[in-house]
Structure 1
Amino acid sequence: MKIATYNVNGVNGRLAVLLRWLAEAEPDIVVLQELKAPQEKFPETAIRDLGYDVIWRGQKSWNGVALLSRVGEIHETRRSLPDDPDPTQSRYIEAAVNGILIGGLYLPNGNPRPGPKFDYKLKWFDALIAHAASLLESSLPVLLLGDFNVMPTERDVYKPERWLDDALFAPEVREAFFRLTAQGWTDALRTIHPDETIYTFWDYFRNAYGRNAGLRIDHLLLSPSLGDRLVDAQVDMHVRGWEKTSDHAPVWVELADKPKRRRRKAVS
């Protein structure tokens, strides 16, 4: 099964890009962020015409999340975090699809730092960490994925010294990410690419994409049972080079139907 996350940066303005990528990559399940469209303006028909079931929570001008599936019905479980510090913002959507609980998220940017937006980011992160812990306690196969707006390590950002004052690279935010993963989540992209420079976002300015001056801020976190099914995780970087494209690239994980066999150690 191929499951992807894509910050589309405006679903209607980038619809041609989204549909082209869906037809090319054929992901089974997709979560989208930054729809930037009210509920009634989501392009449901165009997406269903490609064979996807879809649920979404829109928001005028900003935010907005959606979940697409072509491998079974979407059984929605929630469309905001428990204890969300601002439930009016559309940042989380969760559903059971084909035996997996999918949590799609768009974590706040948090800039400028310090300030109320940064405080909100930390509160939202705390709410996510608490909910993630409860998901793990359920022992269900769970995948949390989306735009986390955090570069966990210096390897995840081009020229990290330029980002020391930014909310995406703040020590408190990086520490929150590692508090989350320490619960037992597998960072799929970094597991497959432990030593590589790999990015998911490139700014529109200063030829960032051409210079590969990027950030890794879109993540796929697997619960332990899904971690055992991890086959591959990649970034469709070429999509960032398309005309009128998002500043993010799609990121995806491939999961085996069953846990991978582990080789037994020879008995001496």
Structure 2
Amino acid sequence: MLVATWNVNSIRSRIDHVKEWLITNKIDILCLQETKTEDKFFPIEIFSDLGYEVSISGQKSYNGVAIISRFPINDIKIGFNEVTNDYQDLSILSEQKRIISADINDIRIINVYVPNGSSINSDKFIYKKKWLKCLQVYLREINKNNTPICLLGDFNIAPEDRDIHTPSRYEESIMASSKERELLKDALGGELEDVFRIFEPGEKNWSWWDYRHSAWERDKGWRIDHIYLTEDILSCANSCWIDKEQRSREKPSDHAPVVVDINWPPSDIENEFFF
């Protein structure tokens, strides 16, 4: 089973790229971030025609998350408040469309678009810290049932210095600060593992290249798009990779997809994929 995450930076602008990529790579579950469109304008029919179910949570021009699956999507939960009421500022944190989860093929798929935070001394950074603390509460509630979890999305955090092209330039900067890394680690709680680093421990593995400063051409990237798995799924993982080719296309997203290949359910023989 192939599960992927991709910040597409506007689904309506990138729909042809996404459609072609799904068909070519035979992706089973795709989580999108920054769809940047209201639900009524999301191109559901294009995915339905390919045999996918779609669950969306969008808003005009900003944010937005979606789950696209060839398996049935069950028990959809949109926002933090459908899982937990045990956090202050919950209503404010749920206004922006940044989290959606569902039960798919006996896995709790949790798709997140973590706030960028703008700069360390900004109000947006305060919002990001609150959002990550609320994510910790959310994951704790989900994990009470010992459900297999796949948490994935654009985290807007490079977990380690090896996840940044020139870490010395960004020490204690946004997306690389010790506070953000600490909050992410706390949210994961020691029960969710970064599957990419199991298979790819080396440096220069980027998932995002800024549109500015010729970042793509100079390969000045960051790894801020992640897939985290609980041990029951991690033990079934075969590989995990970043599809950098998508960033090289004409009018691309500034992010590349990240994909994990899992033998799931463990006892099943891999089913042939049909469109």
Structure 1, gaps ≥5 residues long: 261-268
Rounded Cα–Cα distance in structure 2 between residues aligned with 1:246 and 1:76: 30
**1:67 corresponds to 2:62:** no
Rounded Cα–Cα distance in structure 2 between residues aligned with 1:223 and 1:135: 12
Rounded Cα–Cα distance in structure 2 between residues aligned with 1:55 and 1:257: 21
The aligned counterpart of 2:75 is 76
1:36/1:60 contact within 8 Å kept:
yes
Please state whether the residue corresponding to 2:116 is helix, strand or coil. coil
Rounded Cα–Cα distance in structure 2 between residues aligned with 1:257 and 1:43: 29
Please state whether the residue corresponding to 2:11 is helix, strand or coil. coil
Partner amino acid, structure 2, of 1:147: D
**1:214 corresponds to 2:221:** yes
Greater CA deviation, 124-133 or 58-67?
A: 124-133
- Identity value in percent: 36
Please state whether the residue corresponding to 1:13 is helix, strand or coil. helix
Please state whether the residue corresponding to 1:12 is helix, strand or coil. helix
Rounded Cα–Cα distance in structure 2 between residues aligned with 1:140 and 1:165: 35
**1:234 corresponds to 2:241:** yes
TM superposition shift of 1:259: 5.2
The aligned counterpart of 1:112 is 119
1:225/1:259 contact within 8 Å kept:
no
The aligned counterpart of 1:4 is 4
The aligned counterpart of 1:264 is none
Deviation track 1:69-113 (CA, whole Å, cap 9, x = no partner) reads 01x210133111134442111000000111111000000000122
Please state whether the residue corresponding to 1:167 is helix, strand or coil. coil
2:11/2:42 contact within 8 Å kept:
yes
Greater CA deviation, 17-26 or 118-127?
A: 17-26
**1:256 corresponds to 2:253:** no
Deviation track 1:35-81 (CA, whole Å, cap 9, x = no partner) reads 111111101111212221101011001000000001x2101331111
Correspondences of 1:1-268 after superposition (within 5 Å): 1-70=1-70, 72-81=71-80, 82=84, 83=87, 84=90, 85-257=92-264
1:111/1:166 contact within 8 Å kept:
no
2:133/2:187 contact within 8 Å kept:
no
Partner amino acid, structure 2, of 1:76: D
Rounded Cα–Cα distance in structure 2 between residues aligned with 1:88 and 1:177: 21
TM superposition shift of 1:24: 1.3
Please state whether the residue corresponding to 1:244 is helix, strand or coil. coil
Superposition TM-score, scaled by structure 1 size: 0.92
The aligned counterpart of 2:272 is none
1:228/1:259 contact within 8 Å kept:
no
Greater CA deviation, 2-11 or 123-132?
A: 123-132
Greater CA deviation, 251-260 or 13-22?
A: 251-260
Rounded Cα–Cα distance in structure 1 between residues aligned with 2:25 and 2:265: 22
Greater CA deviation, 29-38 or 190-199?
A: 190-199
Greater CA deviation, 234-243 or 197-206?
A: 197-206
CA RMSD of aligned residues (A): 1.5
Rounded Cα–Cα distance in structure 2 between residues aligned with 1:39 and 1:120: 24
1:136/1:223 contact within 8 Å kept:
no
TM superposition shift of 1:165: 4.7
Rounded Cα–Cα distance in structure 2 between residues aligned with 1:216 and 1:108: 15
The aligned counterpart of 1:265 is none
Deviation track 1:102-141 (CA, whole Å, cap 9, x = no partner) reads 0000000001221210011001001111221222331111
Superposition TM-score, scaled by structure 2 size: 0.90
Rounded Cα–Cα distance in structure 2 between residues aligned with 1:258 and 1:46: 28
2:163/2:203 contact within 8 Å kept:
no
Off by >6 Å, runs of 4+ in structure 1:
none
